[in-house]
Structure 1
Amino acid sequence: MTASIPGEAETVADRARRVVRASGMSQREFAARIGMDQTALSKGLRGTRRLSDTELRAIARVGRVPLKFLTSDAATPPAALLAAEERSTRLRAEPVDAQVRRNQILEATARLIAQRGFHSVRVADIARVCDTSPATLHYHFSSKDDALRDALAFYSERLHQRLAEEFATVSSPVDKLRRLIDVQLPASPEDVEEWSVWVQSWNEAMIQPSLRDPQRQAYARWRDVVLGLIRECQATGLAADADADLLATRFTALVDGLAIQLLTGTPHMTVDRMREVLLDSFEPHLSLR
């Protein structure tokens, strides 16, 4: 079985992905075996990063296939690879919970949009990464707009799950505000992906009114968390004379603006600088230092 779309020639990335899948290892395990960063391997298997000759040799060695299979469009798949793919196909043919499969497709779609951009992602790209057919994707998403809406919902839910985990480790609302700031920082590749979908949803909502309600709802849910924490602080006697709604507006505007500066490479804006500015954003009413 190949992961390529019918009618499209297999690429080096397609063949490398076949080898990794047939190995029976996770991408994390395979990356460790070949001494490669997992994110770099993932990008290479998706075709968004060129795999070097050294990396291809390592993939061939660990995957036990001839290097020629990876590098030559005319190479015949080795029998061992075909046998491993057949075993994998039988396993995937076993019943899979529909919601689990939908979540897998949703996560893959969200990450593709985050990494490549909404307008650059084709249905065929999503199908290839999900190892499924375009028809299956149309069952889950009737249009690309639906895919963007669901991608935003995916990252919004992930944000709130992370916040819940962080808030469970502290008790005071001031400490929760500090944790909120840390979670909002675009400090890791996963954070950047999340921010990418947020920013793209704003862009599309400006042009397409049908996308505005989902974006507003997701944003309002996050803003309510901020406002709720400020009011918790006021309930303990802190910032008693402050306009909580105005403080929430100021903070959320700063978060958005600083993140966009950081993501677009604005000079002098760093993750540490963004954190410092946000820690002072509630002054003089509330000190997070």
Structure 2
Amino acid sequence: MPRPSNTEERRQQIVAGLLKVMSERGYERASVGEIAKAAALSPGLVHYHFSGKQEVLLTLVEQLAAQARQRVEAKLSRVKSTSARAQVDAFLEAFLATGDDAAPNAVASWVVISAEAIRQPEVRAIYEQVVRADLERLTTLVAAVAGKRKAPALAAGLFAAVQGYFVLSASVPGLVPTGSAASTVKRMAAGLLDSTEDA
């Protein structure tokens, strides 16, 4: 496998710098100087590799989305031959990224990104695309359990619970008991899906 170019390595350092700064201080306080410092680079190199802070942010959104999709695909591939319910559980576990997959900086940054999506049309466009694709995937999994008619509302409720956990854990550290999000959302999913099977 060829070695990544120096340019790509630098870009990755800069994106990682924004992730670190933004997870601690938010986007507004993530100046190019702070990003450069966190990346152990000069501000000039940030400007050389990116047109501005927003371009770094858009790249970060794409990378966080790709990482989440990789986790989902890895978890789903492990339960592919099992029940549709197990696949919904795997999706939720992957999205909530517990255990070795835990990424508190990514979660905190995703919460900040969701706020920036309200303020910045360019961020909103990519954020909406990512969220719609993730929700569509969950809806497909839920439809295999609950049927196509009920799946959109059930999937949206579960997805909102996941996003709510992200906001709570990033905004009020320590409020959500460690390790409780995935098991709680999975129990919520079980309750919702069980109720559709009885109907």
The answer for the alignment partner of 2:130 in structure 1 is 218
CA 226–182 in structure 1, closer or farther in 2 if over 3 Å, else same: same
| Counterpart AA for 1:164 | E
Matches within 5 A, 1:56-205: 96-171=5-80, 172=82, 173-185=84-96, 187=98, 190-205=102-117
2: CA distance between counterparts of 1:268 and 1:137?
36
Assess if the C-alpha contact under 8 Å between 2:98 and 2:182 holds in 1.
no
CA 248–109 in structure 1, closer or farther in 2 if over 3 Å, else same: same
| Pairs aligned (count) | 188
Matches within 5 A, 1:33-44: none
Assess if the C-alpha contact under 8 Å between 1:151 and 1:197 holds in 2.
no
CA 186–265 in structure 1, closer or farther in 2 if over 3 Å, else same: farther
| Counterpart AA for 1:247 | L
Where do 4+ consecutive residues of structure 1 move more than 3 Å? 186-190, 262-269
Which of residues 164, 167, 186 is equivalent to 1:257?
164
Assess if the C-alpha contact under 8 Å between 1:113 and 1:197 holds in 2.
yes
**C-alpha displacement at 1:254, in angstroms?**
1.7
Deviations 1:96-118 (A, max 9, x none): 44323323332332233223321
2: CA distance between counterparts of 1:268 and 1:128?
31
The answer for the alignment partner of 2:146 in structure 1 is 239
What secondary structure sits across from 1:280 in the alignment? helix
| Counterpart AA for 2:86 | D
2: CA distance between counterparts of 1:266 and 1:178?
25
The answer for the alignment partner of 1:53 in structure 2 is none
The answer for the alignment partner of 1:280 in structure 2 is 188
- Aligned-pair identity in percent equals 21
**How large is the Cα RMSD of the aligned pairs?**
2.8
The answer for the alignment partner of 1:12 in structure 2 is none
What secondary structure sits across from 2:146 in the alignment? coil
Deviations 1:228-260 (A, max 9, x none): 2123x2xxxx32374221222111112112332
Structure with a larger share of its residues in helix: 2
1: CA distance between counterparts of 2:196 and 2:12?
42
| Counterpart AA for 1:205 | A
TM-score for both structures, normalised by structure 2 = 0.79
Deviations 1:80-127 (A, max 9, x none): xxxxxxxxxxxxxxx944323323332332233223321222212222
Deviations 1:111-159 (A, max 9, x none): 3322332122221222223232222211332222222222221211111
**C-alpha displacement at 1:226, in angstroms?**
0.5
1: CA distance between counterparts of 2:68 and 2:29?
25
Larger Rg: 1
Assess if the C-alpha contact under 8 Å between 2:139 and 2:152 holds in 1.
yes
TM-score for both structures, normalised by structure 1 = 0.56
Assess if the C-alpha contact under 8 Å between 1:181 and 1:275 holds in 2.
no
**C-alpha displacement at 1:213, in angstroms?**
0.3
CA 115–190 in structure 1, closer or farther in 2 if over 3 Å, else same: farther
What secondary structure sits across from 2:41 in the alignment? coil
Q: What runs of 5+ residues in structure 1 fail to find an aligned partner?
A: 1-94
| Counterpart AA for 1:209 | P
